[in-house]
Amino acid sequence: MEVYAHANNSLDGLPSKIREYVQEKITLCQPSSFHVCDGSEQENQELLDAMEQAGVIRRLKKYKNCYIATTDPRDVARVESRTIICTKNMNDVVSTPRSGFPPVTDPNLPKNLKQTPLGNWMDSDEMMEVMEKRFAGCMRGRTLFVIPYMMGPYSSPYSKVAIEITDSPYVVVSMRIMTRMGTQVFKELKVPDGSTVVKCLHSVGVPLPSDKPVCSTWPSNPEQTLITHFPERNEIISFGSGYGGNSLCGKKCLALRIGSSLAKREGWLAEHMLIMSITNPEGVKKYFVAAFPSACGKTNLAMLRPKGLPGYKVECVGDDIAWMHFDEEGRLRAINPEFGFFGVAPGTSKSTNPIALDMVHENTIFTNVAETSDGDVYWEGIDQEIDGLHETLIRSWKNKRWSVDLGEPAAHPNSRFCTSIKQCSILDPEWNNPQGVPIEAIIFGGRRPVGVPLVFESFNWQHGVFVGASMRSESTAAAEFKGKQIMHDPFAMRPFFGYNFGQYLSHWLSFGKKEGLQLPKIYHVNWFLKDSQTNQFLWPGFGENIRVIDWIFRRLTNDSSKKASARKTAIGLIPDQSTSDGIRGGEVNPALLEISNDFWLSECKAIRNYFEENVNENLPKEITLELDALQKRLSQ
């Protein structure tokens, strides 16, 4: 679908500053028509129908209101190398690496771009010029959509109103699932002229008629792709990609990159974290947040169905992003700024995540999954008996007839489902509370096949911040990295920092110095340890992760007769399996709780190098002290 037949060409009713902004972008982008989205069911259905007719999405016969979109194979994930934060001063975003910046070799990237492992920076005026050129006439032959939306619950003091301008109807229908979308959000404005609204401009970057060969059902412009953020102007400008985190600007661009920079200025935290509640068999309820890098288990933990320990209940508040503030009593409270899930499909099955599998069979947009000839979805690890699998045809994400013999996956490893939060059957009753939910534990984690134990508790807030800063994890298909390299991913935020990581650490540390705060305890978990001989996971994971959550829960109780004991090690406190109150509910392979001094000393070395190389003069002294102390404990 290129031009939307039902476009309502009127900007009446928009706040004055928004109207000016939209008018300016219409002049720049020269679309054939424009449409202000009201967020209604009718508008949504008309868009879906038009896209289906144009072959952009295919309806799944087997389910109600479910569709598959398949992308240009060059546009399948976030592109971190082309994601840039633009400000006046470089040091506000990145530190100068000790060995200097690498030269920019890609001719399609601006020469003055500064690329670092902790984010990319460019001068905002210069980038504005680059983007003006890319956007001039870029929507010719298409409809420009104006999407008013809000991140966070209605009437929450913590929510933010935004608009996204886009020429992609896929973005419109996805944003309607992922956010609270429609003109009603303007009623939430504290400044009626709209001057505080976060502004996002997105284009797939393929004006029509196109002079290049393009994928007609998924136009994109990978050579010219740039995902840019202007925290000093509260603006996001994204060009060339239609994919998730690159194009649904509310998610990573606003909720994390602009969000973290707003959070720093306003004294709160915007984090890549799930939010869950846990109710124990006695009916005591606690809320936890957890930060794992992309494709490392947030959605699965947020929807955990307990296995192995009776009587526990888990409910979900959010699976990807948490905005957190300390309230007047000094408690940390979290809201989920999103309204939907953009979850990894592969690996989602009845046994691993039945809650997610149940919720995606209605009103869901799948991207880059495979389809069976009877109108069902298919992906690696769906673990589903397909009737007469041999006769059933599977159409791969590349739109080709698929069989195992092809030696490539049927669904892309980063294929996703996009579903409203309301379809989650274990939604926490407080999920939409404008004040958020009180957080008692912060859990960090990553994919570490060796060395990092199943769980450890940090000694205190400052040590916990160091644990977050030192996170490393195996790379996944959620971004463009190839293979399974162990990458530094502090706070699971490496791709999402909106300002200098050194200052981010100071911001986190500052809460440890404030009087009267009830600081949550900080943990680190690792579900992904492997047996070096068999290459099998040592921990069953998924539902049985409740056994680790149970230990954390029992560490947090004030009742000393119920509090779980812990064993002190150099890296932190771990479950004591020589007592009966360690990890419960079944076997625990001793290798899961082994601490090797050699491993951790080499880890210290890698972390020190990384900090010295990439954070250097912006590294808070507290972090160096923690690293020195860890090294000392390990050497004793």
Ligand X SMILES: O=C([O-])CC(=O)C(=O)O
| Interacting residues toward ligand GTP by CB under 6 A | 292, 294-300, 319-320, 343-344, 346-347, 352, 478, 527, 537, 541-542, 545
Residue 442: exposed, middle, or buried by beta-carbon count in 10 A (0-12, 13-18, 19+)? buried
Please state the closest distance from residue 71 (CB atom) to ligand GTP, in A.
16
Closer Cβ to ligand GTP, 326 or 527, answer by number? 527
Please state the closest distance from residue 191 (CB atom) to Mn ion, in A.
31
Partner that binds at residue 352, options ligand GTP, Mn ion, ligand X, none, CB closer than 5 to 8 Å by kind:
ligand GTP
Partner that binds at residue 300, options ligand GTP, Mn ion, ligand X, none, CB closer than 5 to 8 Å by kind:
ligand GTP
Closer Cβ to ligand GTP, 230 or 444, answer by number? 444
Region of residue 619 (left: phi > 0; alpha: psi -120 to 50; beta: else): beta
Closer Cβ to ligand X, 209 or 483, answer by number? 483
- CA torsion, ordered 608, 610, 616, 621, to nearest 10 deg: -40
Largest pairwise CA distance in the chain: 73
Q: Exactly one of 29, 138, 253, 296 is catalytic; which is it?
A: 296
Directed axis angle between helix 41-53 and helix 169-178, to 10°?
140
Q: Does 83 bind Mn ion (CB under 5 A)?
A: no
**Spacing of C-alpha 266 from chain mean position:** 22
Partner that binds at residue 371, options ligand GTP, ligand X, Mn ion, none, CB closer than 5 to 8 Å by kind:
none
> Which tokens sit at 27?
């002049």
> Which tokens sit at 359?
């919720």
Q: Rounded to an integer, what distance in angstroms lies between the CA atom of residue 606 and that of residue 266?
A: 33
Answer yes or no: 200 catalytic.
no
Closer Cβ to Mn ion, 72 or 271, answer by number? 271
Q: Which residues contact 160 (CB under 8 A, 6 or more apart)?
A: 150, 151, 152, 198, 254, 259, 262, 337
**Spacing of C-alpha 85 from chain mean position:** 17
Q: Which residues contact 636 (CB under 8 A, 6 or more apart)?
A: 570
Query: Stretches 81-89, 167-175, 244-252, 400-408: which one binds ligand X (CB under 6 A)?
Result: 244-252
Q: Does 271 bind ligand X (CB under 6 A)?
A: no
Which of 526, 511, 124, 57 is CA-nearest to residue 293?
Answer: 526
- Identify the residue among 167, 271, 320, 371 touching Mn ion (CB under 5 A): 320
- Identify the residue among 58, 78, 199, 507 touching ligand X (CB under 6 A): 78
Closer Cβ to Mn ion, 78 or 547, answer by number? 78
Query: Stretches 157-165, 243-251, 333-341, 564-572: which one binds ligand X (CB under 6 A)?
Result: 243-251
Closer Cβ to ligand X, 200 or 623, answer by number? 200
Which of 306, 326, 197 is CA-nearest to residue 254?
Answer: 197
How many residues belong to the site for ligand X (CB under 6 A)?
9
> Which tokens sit at 103?
């030269």
Q: Find the binding residues for ligand X in span 288-347 (CB under 6 A).
A: 294, 320, 342
Q: What are phi and psi of 182, to 5 degrees?
A: 135, 165
Please state the closest distance from residue 590 (CB atom) to ligand X, in A.
33
Partner that binds at residue 205, options ligand GTP, Mn ion, ligand X, none, CB closer than 5 to 8 Å by kind:
none
C-alpha separations of 574 from 453, 467, 539, 568, 593 in Å: 9, 14, 16, 7, 7
Partner that binds at residue 231, options Mn ion, ligand X, ligand GTP, none, CB closer than 5 to 8 Å by kind:
none
Please state the closest distance from residue 56 (CB atom) to ligand X, in A.
19
Closer Cβ to ligand GTP, 307 or 398, answer by number? 307
Closer Cβ to ligand X, 251 or 264, answer by number? 251
Q: Find the binding residues for ligand X in span 532-561 (CB under 6 A).
A: none
Alpha-helical (H) ranges within 364-488 are 461-469
Residue 331 DSSP symbol: B
- Identify the residue among 251, 286, 488, 507 touching ligand X (CB under 6 A): 251
Residue 393: exposed, middle, or buried by beta-carbon count in 10 A (0-12, 13-18, 19+)? exposed
Partner that binds at residue 143, options ligand X, Mn ion, ligand GTP, none, CB closer than 5 to 8 Å by kind:
none
How many residues belong to the site for Mn ion (CB under 5 A)?
2
Residue closest to ligand X, measured at CB: 245
Amino acid at 186: F
Q: Does 409 bind ligand X (CB under 6 A)?
A: no
Amino acid at 305: R
SS3 424: coil
Q: Find the binding residues for Mn ion in span 264-303 (CB under 5 A).
A: 294
Query: Stretches 320-328, 360-368, 381-389, 571-579: which one binds Mn ion (CB under 5 A)?
Result: 320-328
Q: Are residues 157 and 349 in contact, defined by beta-carbon separation less than 8 angstroms? A: no
Residue 486: exposed, middle, or buried by beta-carbon count in 10 A (0-12, 13-18, 19+)? middle
Where on the chain is the footprint of Mn ion (CB under 5 A)? 294, 320
Residues forming the active site: 296
Where on the chain is the footprint of ligand X (CB under 6 A)? 78, 244-245, 251-252, 294, 320, 342, 478
